[in-house]
Amino acid sequence: MKRLLIIALGVLVLAGCSNASAEEKNTDDTLPVIEMKAVQVETLETREMIGNLTLPGQVEADEIQAVSAVVSGQINALHAEVGDMVEVGTLLVELDDEFVKLQKDQADIGNSLYNLSLETAKRSFERTKALYESGSTTQVNYDAAKDMLSKARLDYSRGTNSTSQINYQLKHMNVESPISGVVASKYQNVGASVAPGTPIYEIVNISEVIVEAGVTESDINRLSTGQVVFVNIPAIAGELEGVVDGIGPIPGNDGTYPVRVRIENSDGIVKPGMFAELKIETEMAKQVLSIPKIAVMHESGEDYVFVQIEGKAEKRVIQKGLAFGTYFEVVGGVEVGEEVVVSGQAYLDEGDALNVVK
């Protein structure tokens, strides 16, 4: 009997231990699991800022001039090829002037005859006028002499006008370069017939070149004519210096204001069509609180960052200033010494636990 009692007590103790273990296990299973998100942070500090405005642009020729025929004719000679350097007044085109010279000879003969007729009509009119005033001839004769003189004067004017037109044609049978520059295009060949306005060559002046860029409304008032600009042209692997030559007061179709930068190019190394990057220093150097550009996010018209506070993410709306390099000037929302998330912030929410990794 005593032995049975001891066995029963043992069974009860084991059952009790088993229940206690099960309860402890159930308690451990219900503990919350805290998810920590891996991020990288950067401590905010002040940096020296020189306000730079960086703009993409494209090189254009400073001056482009079409060389066209002024009068009709057939091309007898062309004196330049694409790539040739020409000066103002360089003979480029000769038109066939033989027919025009024949017209000139005929016109000269005609003018001599018109002049002779005019002188004869003048003398005849003077005689008839004297006779008419003395009563020795009729009104009919006087009017006829007067009409003859008027006709002779009209013929003479028509002849001189025709001669002037022919002289104008002869003057423009040779076409000269209107500017100094490089022949960019040649549109005609020897033997072609051209009319007034027909393009024959295109000359470009690239001793100075222009880079045109567009500036947003928020930046346009940071620029002024004469401002120094550093121009990086990848095609020539070098940085040049230019100046702001003009600022358009009206935005273009893309909403930006046109800005022209002039660059000296006496060696001709910079060519129209090349890509250029303009860097304009718009502010004096100063110490400012800076924030990495990669840390800044944008939502609903606001810029914000996540700051690491005691191991948790805190969302802060910030006010940006100017951009410089890989940083923004920040004028509100964060302070020096705070740690801002620079990697992993795209997956954060307010209050998330953070695992800061190096």
What is the β-pairing status of strands 73-78 and 91-95?
A: antiparallel
Question: Is the domain defined by 38-51+285-356 classed in CATH 3.30.360.10?
Answer: no
Q: What is the pLDDT of residues 101-118, one digit of tens each?
A: 999 999 999 999 999 999
- The reported pLDDT for the residue numbered 40 is 93
The three-state secondary structure class of 235 is helix
Domain 98-171 fold is Helix Hairpins (1.10.287)
- The encoded tokens of residue 249 equal 């007061």
Neighbours of 88 (CB within 10 A): 11
Measuring CA to CA, which residue among 206, 213, 211 is closest to residue 248?
213
328 vs 333: CA distance, rounded Å: 13
Backbone dihedral angles phi then psi of residue 101, each to the nearest 5 degrees: -65, -40
DSSP letter, residue 31: S
CATH code of 53-61+203-281, in short, is 2.40.30.170
- The reported pLDDT for the residue numbered 48 is 80
Ordered by start, the domain boundaries in the chain are: 38-51+285-356, 53-61+203-281, 67-94+177-201, 98-171
Quote the crossing angle between the two packed helices 139-171 and 98-134, to the nearest 10°. Answer: 160
**Radius of gyration for the chain, computed over Cα atoms and rounded to the nearest angstrom:** 46
Mean of pLDDT values over 335-345: 93
* Count, residues in the chain: 358
Lowest mean pLDDT among 241-245, 278-282, 353-357: 278-282
Mean of pLDDT values over 342-357: 91
- The encoded tokens of residue 150 equal 């008027």
- The reported pLDDT for the residue numbered 323 is 75
Mean of pLDDT values over 42-53: 83
- The encoded tokens of residue 168 equal 């104008």
Measuring CA to CA, which residue among 203, 175, 197, 166 is closest to residue 95?
175
- The reported pLDDT for the residue numbered 12 is 39
Do 277 and 55 touch, CB atoms closer than 8 A? yes
- The reported pLDDT for the residue numbered 321 is 81
Placement of tokens 């001839």 in the chain: 137
CA 281 to chain centre: 19
261 vs 224: CA distance, rounded Å: 11
The three-state secondary structure class of 319 is strand
Q: What is the pLDDT of residues 155-205, one digit of tens each?
A: 999 999 999 999 999 999 999 999 999 999 999 999 999 999 999 999 999
Helix (H) or strand (E) holding 20: helix 2-29
pLDDT at 25 over 60: no
Helix then strand then coil, in percent of the chain rounded to 5, is 30, 40, 30
Do 51 and 281 touch, CB atoms closer than 8 A? yes
pLDDT at 289 over 70: yes
- The reported pLDDT for the residue numbered 33 is 66
Do 279 and 227 touch, CB atoms closer than 8 A? no
The pLDDT-based confidence of 287 (bands split at 50, 70, 90) is confident
Measuring CA to CA, which residue among 48, 24, 20 is closest to residue 284?
48
Q: Which residue has the higher pLDDT, 261 or 28?
A: 261
158 vs 72: CA distance, rounded Å: 22
- The reported pLDDT for the residue numbered 284 is 62
119 vs 113: CA distance, rounded Å: 10
Mean of pLDDT values over 257-269: 93
Q: Is the pTM of this model over 0.85?
A: no
- 67-94+177-201: which CATH architecture? Beta Barrel (2.40)
Residue 308 CB contacts under 8 Å (≥ 6 apart), including other chains:
39, 41, 314, 338, 339, 340, 341, 354, 356
- The reported pLDDT for the residue numbered 9 is 37
| Percentage of the residues of the chain whose pLDDT score is greater than 70 | 89
Measuring CA to CA, which residue among 269, 273, 268, 274 is closest to residue 205?
268
Neighbours of 301 (CB within 10 A): 5
Mean of pLDDT values over 278-307: 87
42 vs 99: CA distance, rounded Å: 85
336 vs 45: CA distance, rounded Å: 5
